[in-house]
Structures are given as C-alpha cells and as structure tokens.
Amino acid sequence: MKTDNILTEEAIEEAFLLDHSLCSGAAADVKKGGARSLKAGGLWIYDNEIDRFEGDFEDGDILAVRDFDGYFLGWGFVNRKSRICIRMLSRREEPEVTPSFLKKRVRAAWEYRKKVIDTSSCRVIFGEADFLPGLTVDKYEDVLVVESLALGIDRLKPLILKALTDILAEDGIRIRGIYERSDAKVREKEGLPRFKGFIGGSFDTMVQITENGVRYIVDVENGQKTGFFLDQKENRRAVARLCPGARVLDCFTHTGSFGLNAALAGAAEVTSVDASELAIEQAAENAKLNGFAPESVPSGSVSTGSVSSESVSSESDPSEKESSEESGWLISSEGTRLRYLCADIFELLPELHRKEEQFDVVILDPPAFTKSRNSIKAAVRGYREINQRGLRLVKDGGFLATCSCSHFMDPDLFRDTIARAARDAHKRLRQVYFGTQAPDHPILWASEESYYLKFYIFQVVEEG
C-alpha cells in the first residue's frame, strides 16, 4: 500500500481498518562492513553503504534491509536522492510496518511525554529519538505544528497525524488545528519542496501557551522553527533561580523567554536583546501578557545604571527617547524593570564593555552557528567571541549562562571553546549547572543527531 499527503479522511480511516502492510516488497542489501551506524544503534544507512537493490520500488517506499550475508536488519524507507539513503523504522522482521504499527509508535511517544513533562505544550514526536525518523510534531495547547524532513516520512505523515489526534482525543485533548512548517532548506536534500501551510481547516495561528508559569503568544506560522523553543524549558528554570534582585542581560532573546523567566523570578532589571525586529515586538507583547506595563518617567528625568539606547544606535530619533513606551522600559507590579533592544549582539557587547556596563547575570542563547561539519571552524570563532565578550560584562561573582544548539558542535569542543574564551577574558569559571534539551526532546544514544543542546551556567570570578 502506498500513502501520500492527499489521502482523504475516508482513505485514512480505511487504511487503519484494513491495516495492510505499507512495505513495498523490495529489498536493499548492505555492503560488507557497511551500516556501521545502524549496527551501533543508529537509524541511518548512507548511500555509499548500499551494495544493491532488489525488486520494484520508488523513492519514499519502505524496503527490507539485509546485511551482505542476507541477515535481516530491519525495515526502512529509501531515498536515492539523499546521502542518507535509508532511514530505519524497525529492526524486527515481524510485524511489518502497517498503520497499526505506526499508531503504536505514536502512542509510545505520547505515553513517554506524559511521564516526563508537562504536556500542555511539548514536543510530542522527536524524529529518530521516537523511531519516526525525519518527523517533528510540537503541541502548543490545542494546536499541532508539524515538520517533515524526509520523503518517506512525508508519505506516512497523514497516517501518523491521524493516529496522534485519535490518541490525544482518548485523553480528552481535542486538537483544533494542525499547521505544517516543513520550510527548512534541508528538505531540498531529499528532493522535497519547502512548504508551510494548514493541514485541514485554517485557524488563528497566534497560540497562547504557559511554560514555567510564564505566558507567551506563539506564532506558529511565522515564528522561528515551529514557533517556540520548547527544548530550553528546564534551562530557563535553572537560570531563573539565580536572578532575584539581579541585573540581567539576555542576549539573542528571540521572543523573550529567558528574560521573562528572570524578570518573573524577581530580577531588579532585565535587558533583552535580539537582532530581529519581529522577535523584539513579539517579546514585548509577551511581557505585557505577563503584567508588564510602560514605566512612567517624569519629564526630563534620566534613568541611571541602565543600558542606554545609545548603546545600540547613535542615530536614534531624540523625539522617540521622550516616550517611556518607545524608549524601552516596562515595569511589573513588583518593580522589576524590563526592556527590549533591537541590536546586533556582536556589535552591542563590545560597546557595553567600553561603557563599563556590568551585570549580575549574562545569558547567551545564540542560534546554531554551524549546521554542517564544513563550518565548524567559523562557529568556534563565533562562540569564542561572544563568550569572551559576555564574560567581560559579568560582575565578579556573577553568572554566565551559555549554550550551543548545534549537534555538530560536540560537547568537548564547546567546553574547550568556553575555556579559551575565559582565558581570553582573564576570568575563572566555576561550573554551577550543565543541562541539555528538555526530556520531551529525548537523546537516543547511538543516534548522535538527537543530541544537540549543550547548556552551561558558570559563576564568574576574577583571576587572582
């Protein structure tokens, strides 16, 4: 049985009712010494590890995979256009892959989340780590956001989503809409077009969620990735514990999550910075959603001890600085002051250092500086620079929170890069915390692509 993305609801229902095999009947034989990643516990077989194919099939079909000596290795979907030629769905010969097989996979993923995390908003399916390679599904309250990065999983997507919505309904969760964010450039390596849009009926794509007691509006249509970075949930909580009474600099704030966790934990002052005007606008709206309002400043008064708008641009319109709302500061009922600046972090950090600004907590949550092994050297330079400059802004005894979200930046290399940055800045580091992605983004050992987030908190002390 073949599947595609335009199956009718009736056809999907019939597929589950009949539960026929989804396998093509064709097979792939691996070269002697091939499939090393698979045999070590991974899910990928590369194109140069395939000896030959047997039988009729097309790219996207599910094949039997055999070792060079005929030993059965499992079932996987094939794409000869991709360097990752086969992605494995199962290592067992029986049962074959069927709609009910997929539903069991989805149910296992959901039951796992129910045990390890608040499921109001979470990653429900995390690709290879849930043995559904190439597929990500995030749940934001009653909305699902889907990302498909492989041809084979693209064909199975209608069945998987049907299984997921049915399983959620069993727990009383009614999904009001599904949005697809399969717009990553990596799809082109699979011969797939980039796509974003509604699956089924349209709905309001601005979704309100709550995480760690902080409220956010998630833009599932135009936000980065699927709209929100759910993977930092535990790390945001760890940083917040250090922030009561603190002066905080939150760099690469995106929609404001680290800064808001710090502010609501009782920070005295939080400055959150991002290069994206859209992100800054969304972050400011999220602050207002959490009770922050424009600070009233008496005419002619000047705030002291704060990052000034001149730190960002010397060309700001003086008339804009007269408006407390436009110039930045928001204030909570508890007195925490919060502002958002649109600026290039690589330009802002040295400017703050020249102005001798100091913070109790500096947070560095940059985007992935490398998305391939070919750009690791440039990424190391970038991480070293921002960490060195960030460290120089931390008060003696203060804290630096820093991370990398690229799995190509391996843990040892990232640790070494931070150590070099500390030497450059003449600072000593006392490790307070090490974290990774939240448990709804599980790390499957032997599947290195599932481990990507490295997160440190250090206390920063002067060399003595």
Cα 341–Cα 422–Cα 448 angle in degrees, nearest 5? 85
Considering only CA atoms, which of 26, 122, 144 is closest in space to residue 76?
Answer: 26
Query: Which residue numbers are catalytic?
Result: 405
Q: Could you give the CA distance from residue 308 to residue 459 in angstroms, rounded to a whole number?
A: 26
Predicted confidence at residue 10, as pLDDT, reads 92
Predicted confidence at residue 297, as pLDDT, reads 59
Considering only CA atoms, which of 65, 38, 39 is closest in space to residue 52?
Answer: 65
Side-chain-side CA neighbours of 260 within 13 Å: the count stands at: 26
pLDDT beneath 50, residues of the chain: 301-306, 309, 311-327
| CB-CB contact of 137 with 178 (8 Å) | no
Considering only CA atoms, which of 235, 190, 219 is closest in space to residue 454?
Answer: 235
- Which residue segments constitute the domains of the chain, with CATH numbers given? 23-90 (2.30.130.10), 99-203 (3.30.750.80), 208-297+305-462 (3.40.50.150)
Q: CA 326 from chain center: how many Å?
A: 31
Cα–Cα distances in angstroms (integers) from residue 420 to residues 322, 412, 428, in the given order: 43, 12, 11
Rounded to two decimals, what is the model's pTM? 0.91
Give the full edge-to-edge strand order of the sheet including 84-90. 44-46, 84-90, 72-78, 62-66, 23-30, 50-54
Tell me: the pLDDT tens digits for 138-164?
Answer: 999 999 999 999 999 999 999 999 999
372: its two tokens = 């391939």
Q: Could you give the CA distance from residue 248 to residue 288 in angstroms, rounded to a whole number?
A: 19
What residues pair up with 380 in beta bridges, in sequence order?
none
Q: CA 347 from chain center: how many Å?
A: 25
| CB-CB contact of 244 with 361 (8 Å) | no
Cα–Cα distances in angstroms (integers) from residue 57 to residues 26, 54, 77, 85, 190, in the given order: 6, 9, 10, 14, 17
